[in-house]
Chains A and B, each alone.
Chain A
Amino acid sequence: MTKIKIATEWLESCAGCHMSLLDIDERILELLKYVEITSSPLTDLKHPPEEGVDVGILSGGIGNSDQEKKAKEMRKKCKILVALGDCAVFGGICNLRNFFPKEEVLNRGFVETESTSKGKIPKSEVLGELTDQVSGVNKVVKVDVYIPGCPPSADSIYYALTELVNGRIPVLEGDLLHYD
């Protein structure tokens, strides 16, 4: 049987959702019988393979142009795109900055912090540029599966993955659906 290929990536994220993925513990061995994780921020290979994957998983919101690019790349390379965690679903805790104008946020972060002297707002072509507001990934790409939670529980993630392995689109409910 050919294994289902999965690639993951984190965007504006604290890595908590990926930790929760690891929290499925020994069940990951069972899963690996049916699944090949081609690339992820936790593995040596970081980028999804050229030939693409079956399932792409994104955690974290879209907060700068670099993250936007990564989200679009993942969308192009996967058949089913999963938004994992509140940040990917609707911006999550990253949304906090949406209550302030972008300039104020940058100033506070790079110039006005108490520990900063002679601060400067970084600007360079290799750095992503901050978006005006943070958003979930569905603002820039089409999302097929949403798994909210901050982070989603290991059970929710495991359930969603087993449904995908079995060719079904997961529908979370009961204890598996939570926003905190």
Chain B
Amino acid sequence: MAEITLIINGKKVKGETEDTILDVCEKNGIDVPTLCHFKGLTDVGACRMCIVEIGEERVAINTACTTQALDGMVVKTDTERLNNLRKINIELLLAERNHFCMFCEMSGDCELQDLAYRFKIDYIRYPLLFPKLPLDASHKYIIIDHNRCILCGRCIRACDELEANHTLDFRERGWQKMINIDLNSTLRESTCTSCGSCIQVCPTGAIFDKKSPYLGRSEECEFTKTVCSECSVGCGTEIVTRANHILRINGNFDSDVSRGLLCDKGRFEPLYKEKKRYLKPMVRVNGELKESDWEEATKIMVEKIGGMDGKDIAGLVSARATNETIDLFKKLINNVFCSENIGMLHGPITTIKGKGSLNKILESDLIIVVGADFSKDHKVVRSLIKRAVVKNDSSLILVNSNANNLSSYAKLLLKKEELEKVNEEISMANEVSIIFGYKISGDVEKWISKYGGEVNLIGLMPGTNSLGAYKLGINRNFKPRKARGLYILAVDEDNDILENIIEEAKKSEFVVLQTSYENVLSKEADLIIPSMMWAERSGNYTNMEGKTQEVNKSITSPPEVKDDREIMVSIADKIGKFLS
């Protein structure tokens, strides 16, 4: 790449040889109106808003987003002629379909509307067309209203280039052109993976989620950048809240882990879980859980668990807890309760750990997936693999992987006994990524460790912060038989993880359950301490690549719910020990 110089609006500006005119403008703070352009997606020149005048004697008009910048180019971005053309453009878009903003959920947050305001459009010179177009509300989370669509194609490109799914495309031509779903399917019955990327890139009210419409415009909302707490990928999220309520979860395009992508588990599911929240401590009296208060709860805790011998006490913690909370929990169990018996709710992790990077998957010409299941979590890894295969022509080998939706992308499907067949493929490839699941063992582990140093090695983790907990020294120490007093720091852990320890809990004499919600362990608990849920916590998570990322609270917890760390400190305090 070499430096080039252009004259834009009479001023000398610098760019690079690979830049489009729009890139150069952006680098130099020159504002050019755009609509179909979205950073990170391929530019297609669909909307013609970014038109510029190029040349001096013979002036050509072309789109800045798709025209390569050349050294010495003379460009004008803001002439009367251009602005008149842009105005015509916007008016034609407004006239084409239903852009009656007063009953549109995007009004106030719509890029088309913003442009219409910017160009002071107070009426439309053209006859309105009133085509009768469908609205597809079949999907669980997403609505597509073709009436508001301006055919910019951003959703199509996001579906294809980010999620590598190509569910969406165009059909027909001219003014009959429409967004098409698979072979003219409804979104519910389509191949859509519910990643939600299309919602986030749509500039108008044509694609939106079902939870947040009409609940608040951007200017009334707060935005908190944080990390998804649903699996160990650690995708960057942006939580949209209003008056301490969560409206929406967006992908964070600045996240170097996920670059804007999320999966349905991270984007939608947290907003659809209906669980009973514990707002006050609960104590079991004559077999029944009774509402209590903090004073009594800590007193009982100190009497029951504090009174036991260290070797009879055990602690289990969820990988949804932050590094800070896990660290303090370990200190509480080790130093205050004098017990070494501490472990993770999801059990120990694999001996062999990944040390690669997710982004490198895209650069690999060979990707091997071993014993990994993407049906519940780590779906963004699956998207990256798909993107590598579809967009970069990488080869994919699946070994013993119930990696649903991936088999059609694979060049080889192998059983674990056939692992050795992969060796030759690896020797012939330039860049190799090996992605392994968290249930591998024995020979498979041995085979992987052989390649440990040479390849981009990525190990999926059973829980969000499993690697963080492992680094803090919690992994294989838990000995269930020895737990007379069991302290479970469950935070907002899901039932499918908690189920695994029902038996342990049944055997223990006294079970303390620190949890946000009622769950399968509630029945076994003698004392329940309310805990913060994901959006209320702050701290750090360490993802499966080993990246430690900041978790920021987006809402404030109910008044009676205390920070997990504060609770532990006050328990230690009651016992007469100092915890920090």
List residues of A whose CB falls within 8 A of some B CB: 83, 86, 89-93, 95, 98-99, 133, 136, 138, 143, 146-148, 150, 171-173, 177-180
Contact, CB under 8 Å: B102 / A147: no
Q: A93-B100, A95-B100, A150-B102 are in contact. Are A180 and B120 (CB under 8 A)?
A: no
Contact, CB under 8 Å: A146 / B100: no
Q: A148-B122, A179-B107, A179-B116 are in contact. Are A99 and B132 (CB under 8 A)?
A: yes
Known: A91-B128, A146-B123. 17 other contacts (CB 8 A): A86-B102, A90-B123, A90-B128, A92-B100, A92-B102, A93-B102, A95-B128, A98-B128, A98-B130, A138-B123, A150-B101, A172-B122, A177-B122, A179-B102, A179-B107, A179-B116, A180-B107
Contact-residue bracket for chain B: 10 to 19
Contact, CB under 8 Å: B123 / A180: no
Of the residues A86, A93, A138, A178, contact of B117 by C-beta under 8 Å: A178
Please indicate the chain A residues that have their CB under 8 angstroms from the CB of B101 in the complex.
150, 179-180
Question: How far is B372's CA from A111's CA once the two chains are assembled, in angstroms?
Answer: 62
Question: How far is B103's CA from A166's CA once the two chains are assembled, in angstroms?
Answer: 35
CB distance from B429 to the nearest CB of A (A): 56
Shortest Cβ-Cβ A-B pairs, 8 listed: A150-B102, A179-B101, A146-B122, A146-B123, A98-B130, A180-B107, A180-B102, A180-B101
Please indicate the chain B residues that have their CB under 8 angstroms from the CB of A147 in the complex.
122
Please indicate the chain A residues that have their CB under 8 angstroms from the CB of B103 in the complex.
93
Of the residues A133, A138, A173, contact of B130 by C-beta under 8 Å: A133
Number of A-B residue pairs with CB-CB distance less than 8 Å in the complex they form = 52
List residues of B whose CB falls within 8 A of some A CB: 100-104, 107-108, 113, 116-117, 120, 122-124, 128, 130, 132
Closest residue of chain A to B108 (Cβ to Cβ) is A180
Contact, CB under 8 Å: B120 / A172: yes
Question: How far is B116's CA from A111's CA once the two chains are assembled, in angstroms?
Answer: 40
Question: How far is B379's CA from A155's CA once the two chains are assembled, in angstroms?
Answer: 50
Closest residue of chain A to B125 (Cβ to Cβ) is A138
Please indicate the chain A residues that have their CB under 8 angstroms from the CB of B128 in the complex.
90-91, 95, 98
Question: How far is B233's CA from A71's CA once the two chains are assembled, in angstroms?
Answer: 63
Contact, CB under 8 Å: A95 / B130: yes
Of the residues A93, A95, A133, A148, contact of B123 by C-beta under 8 Å: A148
CB distance from B349 to the nearest CB of A (A): 52
Please indicate the chain A residues that have their CB under 8 angstroms from the CB of B108 in the complex.
180
CB distance from A163 to the nearest CB of B (A): 13
CB distance from A46 to the nearest CB of B (A): 27
Contact, CB under 8 Å: B113 / A179: yes
Question: How far is B113's CA from A98's CA once the two chains are assembled, in angstroms?
Answer: 22
Q: A90-B128, A180-B108 are in contact. Are A83 and B100 (CB under 8 A)?
A: no
Closest residue of chain B to A96 (Cβ to Cβ) is B100
Please indicate the chain A residues that have their CB under 8 angstroms from the CB of B123 in the complex.
83, 89-90, 136, 138, 143, 146, 148
Question: How far is B104's CA from A146's CA once the two chains are assembled, in angstroms?
Answer: 21
Closest residue of chain B to A83 (Cβ to Cβ) is B123
By CB atoms of chain A within 10 A, which of B102, B107, B132 has the most? B102
Question: How far is B116's CA from A133's CA once the two chains are assembled, in angstroms?
Answer: 25
Question: How far is B120's CA from A173's CA once the two chains are assembled, in angstroms?
Answer: 6
Closest residue of chain A to B104 (Cβ to Cβ) is A180
Please indicate the chain A residues that have their CB under 8 angstroms from the CB of B100 in the complex.
86, 92-93, 95, 179
Question: How far is B117's CA from A148's CA once the two chains are assembled, in angstroms?
Answer: 11
Please indicate the chain B residues that have their CB under 8 angstroms from the CB of A83 in the complex.
123
Please indicate the chain B residues that have their CB under 8 angstroms from the CB of A180 in the complex.
101-102, 104, 107-108
CB distance from A91 to the nearest CB of B (A): 7
Question: How far is B113's CA from A136's CA once the two chains are assembled, in angstroms?
Answer: 19
CB distance from B227 to the nearest CB of A (A): 35
Please indicate the chain B residues that have their CB under 8 angstroms from the CB of A138 in the complex.
123
Please indicate the chain B residues that have their CB under 8 angstroms from the CB of A93 in the complex.
100, 102-103
Please indicate the chain B residues that have their CB under 8 angstroms from the CB of A146 in the complex.
122-123
Please indicate the chain A residues that have their CB under 8 angstroms from the CB of B124 in the complex.
90
Question: How far is B123's CA from A138's CA once the two chains are assembled, in angstroms?
Answer: 10
CB distance from A12 to the nearest CB of B (A): 14
Question: How far is B202's CA from A165's CA once the two chains are assembled, in angstroms?
Answer: 43
10 A-B pairs with CB atoms under 8 Å apart are: A86-B102, A90-B124, A92-B100, A92-B102, A93-B102, A146-B123, A173-B120, A179-B116, A180-B101, A180-B102
Question: How far is B124's CA from A90's CA once the two chains are assembled, in angstroms?
Answer: 7
Question: How far is B103's CA from A95's CA once the two chains are assembled, in angstroms?
Answer: 12
CB distance from B575 to the nearest CB of A (A): 60
Contact, CB under 8 Å: A177 / B132: no
Question: How far is B35's CA from A154's CA once the two chains are assembled, in angstroms?
Answer: 31
Closest residue of chain B to A177 (Cβ to Cβ) is B117
By CB atoms of chain B within 10 A, which of A138, A150, A178, A179 has the most? A179
By CB atoms of chain A within 10 A, which of B101, B104, B108 has the most? B101
Closest residue of chain B to A86 (Cβ to Cβ) is B102
CB distance from A120 to the nearest CB of B (A): 27
Please indicate the chain A residues that have their CB under 8 angstroms from the CB of B104 in the complex.
180
Question: How far is B130's CA from A98's CA once the two chains are assembled, in angstroms?
Answer: 7
CB distance from B145 to the nearest CB of A (A): 13
CB distance from A136 to the nearest CB of B (A): 7
Question: How far is B108's CA from A119's CA once the two chains are assembled, in angstroms?
Answer: 42
CB distance from B91 to the nearest CB of A (A): 10
Question: How far is B108's CA from A60's CA once the two chains are assembled, in angstroms?
Answer: 23
Closest residue of chain B to A151 (Cβ to Cβ) is B102
Please indicate the chain A residues that have their CB under 8 angstroms from the CB of B113 in the complex.
179
Please indicate the chain A residues that have their CB under 8 angstroms from the CB of B132 in the complex.
99
Of the residues B107, B117, B122, B130, contact of A99 by C-beta under 8 Å: B130
Please indicate the chain A residues that have their CB under 8 angstroms from the CB of B130 in the complex.
95, 98-99, 133
Question: How far is B124's CA from A136's CA once the two chains are assembled, in angstroms?
Answer: 10
Closest residue of chain B to A172 (Cβ to Cβ) is B122
Question: How far is B23's CA from A156's CA once the two chains are assembled, in angstroms?
Answer: 37
CB distance from A3 to the nearest CB of B (A): 27
Question: How far is B121's CA from A146's CA once the two chains are assembled, in angstroms?
Answer: 10
Question: How far is B122's CA from A90's CA once the two chains are assembled, in angstroms?
Answer: 10
CB distance from B133 to the nearest CB of A (A): 9
Please indicate the chain B residues that have their CB under 8 angstroms from the CB of A172 in the complex.
120, 122
CB distance from A74 to the nearest CB of B (A): 17
